[in-house]
Amino acid sequence: MAAIWAVAELAGGRPTRLSLELATLARQLAQASGGTATVVAVGSGAAGAAKELAALGPRVIAVEAPTEGDRPAASVVAPRLAALAGEARPDVLLVSASPDGKDVAGFLSARLDLPVLVNAAGVRWADGGPVVQMSTFGGRLGTDSAFTHGRGIVLVRPGTVTAEPALAPGAVETADPAPSAELPPVRVVERVVQAGAAASIDDARVVVAGGRGVGGPEGFRIVEELADAFGGAVGGTRAVVDAGWLPYSQQIGQTGKIIKPALYVATGISGAIQHKVGMQTSGTIVAINRDPDAPIVEFADLVVVGDLFEIVPRLTAAVRARRG
Protein backbone atom coordinates (compact mmCIF):
# COMPACT_ATOMS: atom_id res chain seq x y z
CA MET A 1 0.00 0.00 0.00
CA ALA A 2 1.57 3.26 -1.13
CA ALA A 3 2.23 5.93 1.49
CA ILE A 4 1.95 9.40 -0.02
CA TRP A 5 3.38 12.27 2.01
CA ALA A 6 3.09 15.99 1.40
CA VAL A 7 5.31 18.58 3.06
CA ALA A 8 3.38 21.69 4.13
CA GLU A 9 5.00 25.11 4.15
CA LEU A 10 3.85 27.50 6.86
CA ALA A 11 3.83 31.28 6.62
CA GLY A 12 2.74 33.19 9.71
CA GLY A 13 1.64 29.87 11.23
CA ARG A 14 -0.75 29.10 8.37
CA PRO A 15 -0.34 26.71 5.43
CA THR A 16 0.46 28.39 2.12
CA ARG A 17 -1.99 27.96 -0.76
CA LEU A 18 0.41 25.56 -2.46
CA SER A 19 0.49 23.45 0.72
CA LEU A 20 -3.30 23.12 0.59
CA GLU A 21 -2.96 22.03 -3.03
CA LEU A 22 -0.32 19.44 -2.07
CA ALA A 23 -2.59 18.08 0.67
CA THR A 24 -5.36 17.68 -1.91
CA LEU A 25 -2.99 16.05 -4.39
CA ALA A 26 -1.75 13.63 -1.71
CA ARG A 27 -5.35 12.63 -1.01
CA GLN A 28 -6.09 12.15 -4.72
CA LEU A 29 -2.97 10.01 -5.24
CA ALA A 30 -3.79 7.95 -2.16
CA GLN A 31 -7.28 7.34 -3.53
CA ALA A 32 -5.92 6.37 -6.95
CA SER A 33 -3.29 4.02 -5.48
CA GLY A 34 -5.42 2.59 -2.68
CA GLY A 35 -2.82 3.95 -0.26
CA THR A 36 -2.63 6.52 2.53
CA ALA A 37 -2.11 10.29 2.55
CA THR A 38 -0.13 12.15 5.21
CA VAL A 39 0.85 15.80 5.46
CA VAL A 40 3.74 16.93 7.67
CA ALA A 41 3.70 20.52 8.93
CA VAL A 42 6.84 21.77 10.65
CA GLY A 43 7.16 25.19 12.31
CA SER A 44 5.78 27.46 14.92
CA GLY A 45 1.99 27.15 15.14
CA ALA A 46 2.06 23.77 13.35
CA ALA A 47 -0.82 22.40 15.45
CA GLY A 48 -3.16 25.21 14.33
CA ALA A 49 -2.10 24.87 10.69
CA ALA A 50 -2.64 21.11 10.96
CA LYS A 51 -6.38 21.56 11.49
CA GLU A 52 -6.67 23.57 8.26
CA LEU A 53 -4.68 20.90 6.39
CA ALA A 54 -6.67 18.02 7.88
CA ALA A 55 -9.86 19.51 6.41
CA LEU A 56 -8.49 18.44 3.01
CA GLY A 57 -8.55 14.78 4.07
CA PRO A 58 -5.06 13.50 4.86
CA ARG A 59 -3.71 12.56 8.28
CA VAL A 60 -1.56 15.47 9.49
CA ILE A 61 1.58 15.27 11.63
CA ALA A 62 2.27 18.61 13.34
CA VAL A 63 5.85 19.24 14.44
CA GLU A 64 6.37 22.36 16.56
CA ALA A 65 9.76 23.85 15.68
CA PRO A 66 11.57 27.16 16.15
CA THR A 67 10.67 29.79 13.57
CA GLU A 68 12.44 33.08 13.12
CA GLY A 69 10.32 35.61 11.30
CA ASP A 70 7.14 34.27 9.71
CA ARG A 71 8.54 31.13 8.01
CA PRO A 72 10.60 28.26 9.45
CA ALA A 73 13.95 27.95 7.67
CA ALA A 74 14.54 24.92 5.45
CA SER A 75 17.46 24.07 7.77
CA VAL A 76 14.90 23.62 10.58
CA VAL A 77 12.25 21.78 8.54
CA ALA A 78 14.37 19.32 6.54
CA PRO A 79 16.21 17.46 9.37
CA ARG A 80 12.94 16.93 11.27
CA LEU A 81 11.21 15.66 8.16
CA ALA A 82 14.13 13.38 7.35
CA ALA A 83 13.89 11.86 10.83
CA LEU A 84 10.16 11.13 10.42
CA ALA A 85 10.43 9.93 6.82
CA GLY A 86 13.53 7.86 7.58
CA GLU A 87 11.43 5.80 9.94
CA ALA A 88 8.11 5.69 8.07
CA ARG A 89 9.68 5.29 4.59
CA PRO A 90 6.91 6.96 2.52
CA ASP A 91 6.85 6.04 -1.16
CA VAL A 92 6.23 9.54 -2.44
CA LEU A 93 7.11 12.91 -0.89
CA LEU A 94 5.33 15.88 -2.47
CA VAL A 95 7.23 19.12 -1.85
CA SER A 96 6.45 22.72 -2.95
CA ALA A 97 8.47 23.89 -5.95
CA SER A 98 9.36 27.03 -3.99
CA PRO A 99 12.81 28.29 -2.95
CA ASP A 100 12.44 26.73 0.53
CA GLY A 101 10.87 23.56 -0.92
CA LYS A 102 13.86 23.06 -3.21
CA ASP A 103 16.22 23.30 -0.23
CA VAL A 104 14.13 20.79 1.70
CA ALA A 105 13.96 18.38 -1.26
CA GLY A 106 17.74 18.50 -1.76
CA PHE A 107 18.36 17.60 1.89
CA LEU A 108 15.75 14.82 1.88
CA SER A 109 17.14 13.37 -1.32
CA ALA A 110 20.64 13.13 0.17
CA ARG A 111 19.50 11.86 3.57
CA LEU A 112 16.90 9.34 2.38
CA ASP A 113 18.69 8.36 -0.83
CA LEU A 114 15.62 9.15 -2.93
CA PRO A 115 15.50 10.54 -6.49
CA VAL A 116 13.80 13.87 -7.25
CA LEU A 117 11.55 14.95 -10.13
CA VAL A 118 11.24 18.73 -10.39
CA ASN A 119 8.68 21.28 -11.57
CA ALA A 120 5.72 18.92 -11.81
CA ALA A 121 2.79 20.47 -13.66
CA GLY A 122 0.68 17.39 -12.91
CA VAL A 123 1.01 14.09 -11.02
CA ARG A 124 -1.10 10.96 -11.57
CA TRP A 125 -0.84 7.39 -10.39
CA ALA A 126 -0.05 4.61 -12.86
CA ASP A 127 1.76 1.25 -12.81
CA GLY A 128 2.47 1.35 -9.09
CA GLY A 129 4.00 4.80 -8.88
CA PRO A 130 3.58 8.51 -9.57
CA VAL A 131 3.77 9.73 -13.16
CA VAL A 132 5.03 13.29 -13.21
CA GLN A 133 4.14 15.69 -16.03
CA MET A 134 6.71 18.35 -16.80
CA SER A 135 7.03 20.88 -19.57
CA THR A 136 10.30 21.30 -21.41
CA PHE A 137 11.72 23.35 -24.29
CA GLY A 138 10.07 26.52 -23.05
CA GLY A 139 6.70 24.84 -22.66
CA ARG A 140 6.66 23.43 -26.21
CA LEU A 141 6.87 19.81 -25.12
CA GLY A 142 5.20 17.93 -22.29
CA THR A 143 6.95 14.89 -20.79
CA ASP A 144 5.80 12.09 -18.49
CA SER A 145 8.43 10.74 -16.08
CA ALA A 146 8.39 8.01 -13.46
CA PHE A 147 10.85 6.79 -10.82
CA THR A 148 12.77 3.63 -11.71
CA HIS A 149 11.74 1.98 -8.43
CA GLY A 150 8.42 3.83 -8.00
CA ARG A 151 9.65 5.85 -4.97
CA GLY A 152 10.88 9.43 -4.85
CA ILE A 153 10.43 13.13 -4.16
CA VAL A 154 8.32 15.34 -6.45
CA LEU A 155 8.62 19.13 -6.49
CA VAL A 156 5.14 20.37 -7.44
CA ARG A 157 4.39 23.72 -9.05
CA PRO A 158 1.45 25.91 -7.97
CA GLY A 159 -1.92 25.37 -9.62
CA THR A 160 -1.44 21.66 -10.37
CA VAL A 161 -4.71 20.88 -8.57
CA THR A 162 -7.40 22.95 -6.88
CA ALA A 163 -7.45 22.69 -3.08
CA GLU A 164 -10.72 21.01 -2.14
CA PRO A 165 -11.99 20.06 1.32
CA ALA A 166 -12.68 16.37 1.87
CA LEU A 167 -15.96 14.93 3.09
CA ALA A 168 -14.25 13.71 6.25
CA PRO A 169 -11.25 15.50 7.79
CA GLY A 170 -8.06 13.58 8.51
CA ALA A 171 -6.68 12.92 12.00
CA VAL A 172 -4.16 15.31 13.54
CA GLU A 173 -1.13 13.98 15.46
CA THR A 174 1.83 15.71 16.96
CA ALA A 175 5.44 14.55 16.84
CA ASP A 176 8.72 15.82 18.17
CA PRO A 177 11.42 14.04 16.16
CA ALA A 178 15.07 14.63 16.96
CA PRO A 179 16.53 16.38 13.87
CA SER A 180 18.44 13.86 11.76
CA ALA A 181 21.37 16.27 11.44
CA GLU A 182 22.33 19.73 12.58
CA LEU A 183 22.43 22.11 9.67
CA PRO A 184 24.07 25.51 9.83
CA PRO A 185 21.27 27.87 10.88
CA VAL A 186 20.04 30.27 8.21
CA ARG A 187 18.84 33.57 9.60
CA VAL A 188 16.50 35.77 7.61
CA VAL A 189 17.96 39.17 8.30
CA GLU A 190 15.35 41.25 6.54
CA ARG A 191 12.28 40.93 4.31
CA VAL A 192 11.65 43.82 1.95
CA VAL A 193 8.24 44.56 0.48
CA GLN A 194 8.68 45.90 -3.02
CA ALA A 195 7.97 49.63 -3.06
CA GLY A 196 4.68 50.47 -4.79
CA ALA A 197 3.77 46.78 -5.06
CA ALA A 198 0.27 46.29 -6.40
CA ALA A 199 -2.21 43.66 -5.21
CA SER A 200 -0.56 40.25 -5.48
CA ILE A 201 -1.50 38.10 -8.46
CA ASP A 202 -0.63 34.91 -6.56
CA ASP A 203 -3.95 34.41 -4.80
CA ALA A 204 -6.25 36.83 -6.64
CA ARG A 205 -9.56 35.35 -7.83
CA VAL A 206 -9.53 37.67 -10.82
CA VAL A 207 -6.41 38.71 -12.74
CA VAL A 208 -6.55 41.23 -15.56
CA ALA A 209 -3.31 41.09 -17.53
CA GLY A 210 -1.88 43.39 -20.14
CA GLY A 211 0.53 42.72 -22.98
CA ARG A 212 2.45 44.73 -25.53
CA GLY A 213 -0.89 45.66 -27.12
CA VAL A 214 -1.54 47.97 -24.16
CA GLY A 215 1.03 50.25 -25.75
CA GLY A 216 2.90 51.65 -22.74
CA PRO A 217 2.74 52.24 -19.00
CA GLU A 218 -0.07 54.78 -19.39
CA GLY A 219 -2.12 52.14 -21.25
CA PHE A 220 -2.13 50.07 -18.05
CA ARG A 221 -4.45 52.62 -16.44
CA ILE A 222 -7.50 51.04 -18.12
CA VAL A 223 -6.21 47.56 -17.25
CA GLU A 224 -5.93 48.63 -13.59
CA GLU A 225 -9.42 50.11 -13.66
CA LEU A 226 -10.89 46.86 -14.93
CA ALA A 227 -8.97 44.86 -12.30
CA ASP A 228 -10.19 47.28 -9.68
CA ALA A 229 -13.81 46.92 -10.82
CA PHE A 230 -13.49 43.14 -10.41
CA GLY A 231 -11.66 43.51 -7.08
CA GLY A 232 -8.75 41.68 -8.74
CA ALA A 233 -5.06 42.15 -9.47
CA VAL A 234 -3.02 43.27 -12.49
CA GLY A 235 -0.51 41.02 -14.26
CA GLY A 236 1.43 41.16 -17.49
CA THR A 237 3.60 39.40 -20.02
CA ARG A 238 7.37 39.30 -20.04
CA ALA A 239 7.33 41.79 -22.93
CA VAL A 240 5.80 44.48 -20.72
CA VAL A 241 8.01 43.63 -17.74
CA ASP A 242 11.13 43.79 -19.92
CA ALA A 243 9.90 47.16 -21.19
CA GLY A 244 9.62 48.38 -17.58
CA TRP A 245 5.84 48.91 -17.71
CA LEU A 246 5.22 46.51 -14.81
CA PRO A 247 7.45 45.11 -12.03
CA TYR A 248 8.72 41.52 -12.33
CA SER A 249 6.51 40.46 -9.39
CA GLN A 250 3.54 40.79 -11.78
CA GLN A 251 5.00 38.75 -14.66
CA ILE A 252 3.03 35.64 -15.59
CA GLY A 253 4.60 32.72 -17.41
CA GLN A 254 7.50 30.37 -17.68
CA THR A 255 10.01 32.82 -16.21
CA GLY A 256 7.41 34.59 -14.06
CA LYS A 257 4.59 33.31 -11.87
CA ILE A 258 2.20 30.44 -12.40
CA ILE A 259 -1.27 31.52 -11.39
CA LYS A 260 -4.70 29.96 -11.28
CA PRO A 261 -7.37 32.63 -10.79
CA ALA A 262 -11.05 31.87 -11.29
CA LEU A 263 -11.11 34.48 -14.08
CA TYR A 264 -8.19 35.58 -16.26
CA VAL A 265 -8.69 38.50 -18.65
CA ALA A 266 -5.90 38.93 -21.20
CA THR A 267 -5.79 42.33 -22.91
CA GLY A 268 -3.41 42.86 -25.84
CA ILE A 269 -1.65 39.54 -25.19
CA SER A 270 -0.75 37.24 -28.08
CA GLY A 271 -0.66 34.07 -25.94
CA ALA A 272 2.89 32.86 -26.58
CA ILE A 273 3.60 29.39 -25.16
CA GLN A 274 5.87 30.87 -22.45
CA HIS A 275 2.96 33.01 -21.26
CA LYS A 276 0.39 30.23 -21.60
CA VAL A 277 2.23 27.93 -19.17
CA GLY A 278 1.73 30.55 -16.44
CA MET A 279 -2.05 30.90 -16.74
CA GLN A 280 -3.51 27.99 -18.70
CA THR A 281 -5.13 26.38 -15.65
CA SER A 282 -7.18 29.52 -14.85
CA GLY A 283 -10.89 28.84 -14.40
CA THR A 284 -12.18 30.99 -17.28
CA ILE A 285 -9.90 32.70 -19.79
CA VAL A 286 -11.17 35.78 -21.61
CA ALA A 287 -9.03 37.34 -24.35
CA ILE A 288 -9.43 40.81 -25.82
CA ASN A 289 -7.33 41.05 -28.96
CA ARG A 290 -7.71 42.75 -32.31
CA ASP A 291 -6.10 39.80 -34.11
CA PRO A 292 -8.61 36.91 -34.59
CA ASP A 293 -5.66 34.61 -35.35
CA ALA A 294 -3.60 35.36 -32.23
CA PRO A 295 -2.45 32.11 -30.53
CA ILE A 296 -4.49 32.94 -27.41
CA VAL A 297 -7.68 32.44 -29.44
CA GLU A 298 -6.84 28.71 -29.46
CA PHE A 299 -7.07 28.30 -25.68
CA ALA A 300 -9.29 31.16 -24.44
CA ASP A 301 -12.85 30.31 -23.33
CA LEU A 302 -14.17 33.60 -24.67
CA VAL A 303 -12.55 35.88 -27.25
CA VAL A 304 -13.53 39.47 -27.92
CA VAL A 305 -12.00 40.58 -31.21
CA GLY A 306 -11.45 44.33 -31.28
CA ASP A 307 -9.48 47.29 -29.99
CA LEU A 308 -8.83 46.95 -26.27
CA PHE A 309 -8.94 50.72 -25.83
CA GLU A 310 -12.61 50.64 -26.86
CA ILE A 311 -13.59 47.38 -25.19
CA VAL A 312 -11.86 47.52 -21.80
CA PRO A 313 -13.43 50.82 -20.59
CA ARG A 314 -16.88 49.59 -21.63
CA LEU A 315 -16.33 46.32 -19.84
CA THR A 316 -15.18 48.21 -16.73
CA ALA A 317 -18.33 50.32 -16.80
CA ALA A 318 -20.49 47.20 -17.21
CA VAL A 319 -18.77 45.41 -14.30
CA ARG A 320 -19.12 48.49 -12.07
CA ALA A 321 -22.80 48.83 -12.96
CA ARG A 322 -23.39 45.17 -12.05
CA ARG A 323 -21.51 45.32 -8.78
CA GLY A 324 -23.33 48.52 -7.84
Applying CB under 6 A, which residues contact ligand FAD?
A: 138, 211-213, 237-240, 251-256, 268-270, 272, 274-275, 278, 288-291, 294, 307-309
Closest contact distance (angstroms) between CB of 251 and ligand FAD is: 6
Q: Which is nearer to ligand FAD, 59 or 238 (CB)?
A: 238
Q: Which is nearer to ligand FAD, 71 or 212 (CB)?
A: 212
Yes or no: say if 35 and 3 are a contact pair by the CB < 8 Å rule.
yes
Yes or no: say if 284 and 311 are a contact pair by the CB < 8 Å rule.
no
The span from the CA of 201 to the CA of 209, in Å, is 10
DSSP for 90-114 reads -SEEEEESSHHHHHHHHHHHHHHT-
Q: Which is nearer to ligand FAD, 129 or 253 (CB)?
A: 253
Closest contact distance (angstroms) between CB of 46 and ligand FAD is: 34
Closest contact distance (angstroms) between CB of 300 and ligand FAD is: 12
Q: Three-state DSSP class for 135?
A: strand
Closest contact distance (angstroms) between CB of 135 and ligand FAD is: 12
Closest contact distance (angstroms) between CB of 214 and ligand FAD is: 8
Going by C-alpha positions, the residue among 197, 202, 206 that lies closest to residue 319 is 206
Yes or no: say if 53 and 41 are a contact pair by the CB < 8 Å rule.
yes
Characterize 62-85 residue by residue with b for buried, 16 or more Cβ atoms within 10 angstroms of its Cβ, and e for exposed.
Answer: bbbbebeeebbbbbbbbbbbbbbb
Q: Which is nearer to ligand FAD, 133 or 254 (CB)?
A: 254
Q: Which is nearer to ligand FAD, 27 or 275 (CB)?
A: 275
**CB nearest ligand FAD: which residue?**
253
Closest contact distance (angstroms) between CB of 237 and ligand FAD is: 3
DSSP 308: H
Q: Which is nearer to ligand FAD, 206 or 240 (CB)?
A: 240
Closest contact distance (angstroms) between CB of 131 and ligand FAD is: 26
The span from the CA of 260 to the CA of 196, in Å, is 23
Q: Which is nearer to ligand FAD, 53 or 258 (CB)?
A: 258
Phi, psi of 42 (to 5 degrees): -115, 130
Yes or no: say if 151 and 126 are a contact pair by the CB < 8 Å rule.
no
Angle at CA 192, nearest 5°, toward 188 and 256?
100
